[in-house]
Structure 1
């Protein structure tokens, strides 16, 4: 998750627990960018709403469902227009339902949503980040969809278990996955293909790499100013001009460190919410990542990484990094930088593990037109809506029924890796306090230690003290 969004997330999460909120209804969104996404057939207007508390518990024909519902999301003007275009497909199937799209910027969106939850006047359907599912479920802002799924026969088997679990709280399905951004390993094919930047002839990373294999490749692809590799006895670690690998485990605690600890059989946070960093499995991972920097010299320190790119996932855009962890969304940045690249699954300690950052859609428990709201929500998460999303090419659809459509658009690299990565997603729900641990405490305290400053045991104990669980 990008740095600016992390800052905004922390502010919002604090707001949820501390604000005394005034009412802010879903039909009175001051300052919102809103307009009908579809105007329905003649006679189908807001006044044609289904009865209050209209039941969606039994399947109804599309023609019988009518009325107006509001769909809220965060996003830019471009993303808003994309959503309106997407919903044209919904309008074709449900011609008597009008959808009003309400869009706000990231920070404003969560402030408004929290106020609307307090007023029990939420948008009928709204976009939700995987990081906030637990928060908003606990304040009663999300309808339990379990019965609706069962009674209407909505097929959840097309979602990978880890993807679906990201939108569950206490065993209840409170939202449906929309898109599934994954974290994988990218590599710069241009550097591998050129004998000058690959004098040792290292092969592309391939298959389900072990960390021993990844380290071997990284050593061969790390060069000093004289062209010696990190595998050479006379390698000059003080004058590195090309890095074999970037891994910002501390700064990417949610997307790299947590799944990698689980890859080794441990937990960053235990099931009882206590810190798991003191386990032998977690310590082994921390020591390995420190060795990548201080012993093997194949990975830059935190400050060196920052000099390459402020965003840790984008160091490969400099043309000075052979391999890097990055998100599926990073591909567009590498394309802009004219980097010839490809992707593989993240290296593993014992088992391949990654994380899927799953945005989803939730439904208001206070909707006055539940039938139309469920029609919209289930369409967005079902094959029709997901295929339409895939055709737009902006997101990786969470529903596997749309994978073929997504993959059909050839962009010159192996997009299948993003789909495959969903199979290896860990189930690591967010809860109050975890976001501060991942986005504030660990980045601040662990980064220096992984770069060789300070003892890991002492830093881990300090992290545990600050975490306080």
Structure 2
């Protein structure tokens, strides 16, 4: 699960140091500082962590850290190419779906010896440590953040439809009739004649405002869209909490739930697959949608939209009476091929420190995995008029769940992407999920 952040790239990326012309592991000037690179796919976080790099470089004149950012798709292609060519970055932001394959290939440096040698405290993290322990028992990353999903909505549109913030905060859902969530997205959908989706004569083919943003393809666990719906039915992605042998797409409750979610676009309550390709802040800010389901990493961009008062609501309460929101923890890893492992660890351990997470986290571009630093983020955002209590309450109430760690994430993504698109485009029916379950079984069985 990537939990990507939407951004206005031209303004942000210009602030980020470009990739150095020399190799990430090249020695450079023998008399100069040791060059260490750190890559990330998140342009907003790149700006925040640039502050950490500046502080680290000033405190360690014998080391020079360079921060580089690439978009999500290019990021993994460039990283893999670097592994093959032998010039990958010394350190990089890593993802739970990708690191098992890299660990199998011997591309990641185990961190256990460094943790022991430097008495590094793993107990300071609120989440994520176990995520980065592979099947060999070794640690291949340090937790850096956590994130979850929420509904961001246009408060003016909600009020105009006769709804309240409390209605949005307490939405219920079930795969039979959609609960109050289904009623709300219908009421918030408006056609070109001003008719709402819950009124006679609504023109589903001529919609001006959709009640909910795109609910289609969103990764193999529905990270930004349907994950919080399915988790309240008792369904889980894998047949095991970690390292599953198959994905449970063939389960009847999964098929029924996905059919209901897909039908939102058929009714005109959600855009059709591929209709919207712009960022969620543009969707909400333009008035084309009333609610978007998106990661907490977008909280600053969405809470500061010009002329649009934005509210935040937690995930739905499901048929079992519980609320359950997907969370994950990204991490930082060291390339096994780095020529400077000691310096790389020094930087990585600073990335995972309270000092760095508090410094970078004050921007609100991520939620730090260290509680003390998370408190800094929450206080900093409160000063800017942004209330993070929806997210912290989900965490405090233990209403978060994590996706399982599994093998061969890249192959699963590539295999299933066209099938997800075919389903949400109504080209195939829910029988495709039987096929996907069988394919997952075969791909997950290949170790390495």
TM-score, reference length from structure 2: 0.74
Q: How does 1:279-358 map to 2 (within 5 A)?
A: 279-294=251-266, 297=267, 299-303=269-273, 306=275, 309-310=277-278, 315-334=283-302, 335-336=304-305, 338-349=307-318, 350=320, 351-356=322-327, 358=329
Q: C-alpha distance in 2, partners of 1:252/1:108?
A: 17
Q: Does the CA-based 8 Å contact 1:264-1:285 persist in structure 2? A: no
C-alpha distance after superposition, 1:65-112 (max 9, x if no partner): xx83513214699976754432233346x5464133263644665455
- Unmatched 5+ stretches in structure 2: 7-21, 174-178, 443-448
2:65 alignment partner, one of 100, 113, 132: 100
Determine helix, strand or coil for the equivalent of 2:405.
coil
**Residue pairs, 1:62-461, within 5 angstroms:** 68=34, 70-74=36-40, 83-91=49-57, 94-95=59-60, 97-101=62-66, 103=68, 105-106=70-71, 110=76, 113-114=79-80, 116-118=82-84, 123-150=89-116, 152-161=118-127, 163-170=128-135, 171-194=137-160, 198=161, 200-207=162-169, 209-211=171-173, 212-225=179-192, 227-232=194-199, 237=204, 239-254=206-221, 255=223, 256-271=225-240, 272-294=244-266, 297=267, 299-303=269-273, 306=275, 309-310=277-278, 315-334=283-302, 335-336=304-305, 338-349=307-318, 350=320, 351-356=322-327, 358-365=329-336, 370-407=341-378, 408-410=380-382, 411-420=384-393, 424-432=400-408, 433-437=411-415, 440-449=417-426, 454-456=428-430, 458-461=431-434
Question: Counterparts of 1:298 and 1:108 in 2: how far apart (Å)?
Answer: 34
Q: Distance in 2 between matches of 1:437 and 1:312?
A: 26
RMSD of aligned C-alpha atoms? 3.9
In 1: Cα distance, 2:46 partner to 2:190 partner: 45
**Contact 1:250–1:442 under 8 Å retained in 2:** no
How far is 1:216 from its partner? 3.1
CA contact under 8 A between 2:187 and 2:211: conserved in structure 1?
yes
Deviation at 1:139, TM superposition (A): 1.2
Q: Note if contact 1:122-1:141 (Cα within 8 Å) is conserved in structure 2.
A: no
2 CA distance for matches of 1:84 and 1:277?
A: 41
CA contact (8 A) 1:143 1:363 kept: yes
CA shift in 2, pair 1:371/1:447, >3 Å: same
Give the 3 Å change call, closer, same or farther, for CA 82–144 of structure 1 in structure 2: same
Report the CA distance between 1:257 and its aligned residue. Answer: 3.4
Residues 324-382 of structure 1 show CA distances to partners (whole Å, capped at 9, x for unaligned) of 21233444554345321121222142443333454421124455654443332122112
Q: List gaps (5 residues or longer) in structure 1.
A: 6-23, 30-34, 36-44, 49-66
Q: Is the 8 A contact 1:3 1:311 kept in 2?
A: no
Choose 458-467 or 394-403, whichever is displaced more. Answer: 458-467
**Residue 24 of structure 2: SS of its match in structure 1?**
coil
Flag the structure with larger Rg: 1
Q: Deviations over 1:188-237 (max 9, x none)?
A: 1121233xxx1x44544454643223223223323445555444466555
Aligned residues: 404
Q: Deviations over 1:252-279 (max 9, x none)?
A: 5441334543332213343334231111
Q: Distance in 2 between matches of 1:409 and 1:215?
A: 32
Q: In the aligned structure 2, how far is the partner of 1:164 from the partner of 1:280?
A: 34
1:282, CA displacement in angstroms? Answer: 1.3
CA distance in 2, matches of 1:346, 1:78: 25
**What is the alpha-carbon distance in structure 2 between the residues aligned to residue 201 and residue 365 of structure 1?**
55
Compute the displacement of 1:122 (Å). Answer: 5.4
Other structure's SS at 2:65 match? strand
